[in-house]
Amino acid sequence: MTEKELENLFNAEPVNPAMLKSILLDMNTADIAELFEDLKIEKVIRVFRLLPKYTASEVFSNLEADKQQILVEALTDTEVGEIINNLFADDAVDFIEEMPANAVKRVLRNVSPEKRKVINQLLQYPEDSAGSIMTTEYIDLPEKATVKEAFDLIRATGLNKETIYTCYVIRPDRQLIGIVSAKTLMLSALTDKIGDIMDSNPLFVFTADDQEMVAGLFKKYGFLAMPVVDRERQLVGIITVDDIVEIIEEENTEDFEKMSALNPSDEPYLKTSIFALTRNRILWLLVLMLSATVTGGIISSFQDALSVLPILVAFIPMLMDTGGNAGSQASTLIIRGMALGEIELKDIVKVLWKEIRVGIFCGLGLGAVNFLRVYFMNGRNAALAFMVSLSLSATVLMAKSFGCVLPMIAKKLRLDPAIMAAPIITTIIDGASLAVYFSVAKVMLGI
Amino acid sequence: MTEKELENLFNAEPVNPAMLKSILLDMNTADIAELFEDLKIEKVIRVFRLLPKYTASEVFSNLEADKQQILVEALTDTEVGEIINNLFADDAVDFIEEMPANAVKRVLRNVSPEKRKVINQLLQYPEDSAGSIMTTEYIDLPEKATVKEAFDLIRATGLNKETIYTCYVIRPDRQLIGIVSAKTLMLSALTDKIGDIMDSNPLFVFTADDQEMVAGLFKKYGFLAMPVVDRERQLVGIITVDDIVEIIEEENTEDFEKMSALNPSDEPYLKTSIFALTRNRILWLLVLMLSATVTGGIISSFQDALSVLPILVAFIPMLMDTGGNAGSQASTLIIRGMALGEIELKDIVKVLWKEIRVGIFCGLGLGAVNFLRVYFMNGRNAALAFMVSLSLSATVLMAKSFGCVLPMIAKKLRLDPAIMAAPIITTIIDGASLAVYFSVAKVMLGI
- Residue A396 sits at the chain B interface (C-beta within 8 Å): yes
Give the whole-angstrom CA distance, residue A385 versus residue A371.
5
pLDDT of residue A276: 92
A106 and A160 part of one domain: no
- Omega within 30 of 0 (cis) for the link into A14: yes
Average pLDDT, chain B: 91
Phi-psi region of B174 (alpha: psi -120 to 50; beta: other; left: phi over 0): left
A230 and A281 together in one domain: no
Residue A207's CATH number = 3.10.580.10
Name the domain count of chain A.
Answer: 3
- Residues B322-341 have pLDDT tens digits of 999 999 999 999 999 999 98
Considering only the beta carbons, identify the residue of B245, B296, B361 that sits closest to A219: B245
Q: A335 with A371, same domain?
A: yes
Collapsing DSSP to helix, strand or coil, A257 comes out as helix
- pLDDT value at residue A447: 76
**pLDDT of A39 higher than 80:** yes
The domain that contains A9 carries what CATH number?
Answer: 1.25.60.10
CA distance A268 to chain B (A): 7
Q: Please report the DSSP string for A415-445 in residue order.
A: S-GGGGSHHHHHHHHHHHHHHHHHHHHHHHH
User: A60, A94, A124 — which closes off a domain?
Assistant: A124
Residue B256 belongs to some domain of the structure: no
Partner residue opposite A155 with nearest CB, options B187, B259, B274? B187
**pLDDT band, very low/low/confident/very high, at A9 (cuts 50, 70, 90):** confident
pLDDT of residue B38: 81
State CA B388 to chain mean position distance.
42
H helical segments located in B111-198: 113-123, 130-133, 147-157, 182-187, 194-197
Measured from the Cβ of residue B55, the count of other Cβ atoms closer than 10 Å reads 17
Considering the domain boundaries, does residue A133 fall inside one? no
A 294-323 residues with CB below 8 A of B? 295-297, 299-300, 303, 306-307, 310-311, 313-318, 320-322
**For strand A235-240 and strand A225-229, is the pairing parallel, antiparallel, or unpaired?**
antiparallel
Query: Tell me, what's the pLDDT at B343?
Result: 93
- Give the H/E segment covering residue A398: helix A382-412
A369 touches chain B (CB under 8 A): yes
Indicate whether A366 and A409 sit together in one domain: yes
A273-304: pLDDT as tens digits: 999 999 999 999 999 999 988 899 999 888 88
Residue from the list B296, B337, B351 with its beta carbon closest to the beta carbon of A318: B296
List C-alpha distances in Å: A256 to A216, B248, B329, B342, B422: 18, 14, 10, 15, 12
Predicted complex ipTM exceeds 0.85: yes
* Dihedral in degrees, nearest 10, Cα atoms B128, B130, B131, B132: 30
Domain that holds residue A102: 3-124
Both A56 and A171 in one domain: the answer is no
| pLDDT surpasses 80 at A14 | no
Residue B134 lies in a domain: no
Same-domain pairing of B11 and B94: yes
- Residue where a domain stops, chosen among B89, B124, B159: B124
**Closest-CA residue to B131 (of B139, B140, B141, B121):** B121
- For B138-153, how does the pLDDT look when each residue is reduced to its tens digit (9 = 90+)? 999 999 999 999 999 9
Q: What is the mean pLDDT of residues A85-90?
A: 93
pLDDT on residue A1: 57
Flag the least confident range among A128-132, A423-427, B150-154, B282-286.
A423-427
- The average pLDDT across B36-52 equals 88
Most distant CA pair in chain A, distance: 94
Closest approach of B7 to chain A, Cα-based (Å)? 18
A238, A319: one domain: no
- Predicted local distance difference test score (pLDDT) of residue B3: 65
For residue B82, is it within any domain?
yes
* B146 and B113 share one domain: no
pLDDT above 90: residue B349: yes
State which of A226, A255, A284 marks the end of a domain.
A255
Does any domain span residue A300? yes
Contact B30 A221 (CB under 8 A): yes
Note whether B399 contacts A: Cβ–Cβ < 8 A. Answer: no
Assess whether A326 and A415 both reside in one domain.
yes
**Closest Cα of chain A to B75: distance in Å?**
26
Q: Find, among B344, B342, B334, the residue nearest to B405 by Cα.
A: B334
Domain of residue B349, CATH code: 1.10.357.20
Contact status of A346 with chain B (Cβ, < 8 Å):
no
One domain for residues B304 and B409 = yes
Residue B309 to residue B303: CA distance in whole angstroms: 10
| pLDDT surpassing 90 at residue B317 | yes
B162 and B110 share one domain:
no
| Spatial CA neighbour of B153 closest among B201, B187, B108, B185 | B185
Of A333, A238, A281, A154, the C-alpha closest to B256 is A333
Q: Is residue B131 assigned to a domain?
A: no
Q: Which helix (H) or strand (E) holds A51?
A: none
Q: Which residues of A touch B366 (CB under 8 A)?
A: 282, 285-286, 289
Kindly report the average pLDDT of chain A as a whole number: 91
Looking at residue B180, what is its pLDDT?
Answer: 96
Render pLDDT for B221-251 as a digit per residue (tens, 0 to 9): 999 999 999 999 999 999 999 999 999 999 9
Model confidence band, residue A306 (pLDDT cutoffs 50, 70, 90): confident
Mean pLDDT of B410-422: 89
Ranking A159-163, A254-258, B80-84, B351-355 by mean pLDDT, the lowest is A159-163
Q: What mean pLDDT do residues A302-322 have?
A: 90
Query: A63 at the B interface (CB within 8 A)?
Result: no
pLDDT digits (tens, 9 = 90+) for B87-141: 999 999 999 988 888 889 999 999 999 999 999 999 999 989 999 999 999 999 9
Torsion-angle region of residue A238: left (phi > 0), alpha (psi -120 to 50) or beta?
beta
Quick one: A166 and A120 in the same domain? no
Residue at A130 is within a domain = no
> Mean pLDDT, to the nearest integer, of A19-45?
87
Give the whole-number percent of chain B exceeding pLDDT 70.
98
Q: Examine residue A131 and state whether it is found in any structural domain, yes or no.
A: no
* Average pLDDT rounded to a whole number, residues B363-389: 94
- Average pLDDT of span B273-294: 92
Interchain pair A314, B328: CB under 8 A: no
Please indicate whether, in this complex, the C-beta atoms of A317 and B430 are within 8 angstroms of each other: yes
Residue B303, pLDDT score: 86
- Residue A2's pLDDT band, with cuts at 50, 70 and 90, is low
How confident is the model at residue A243, as a pLDDT?
93
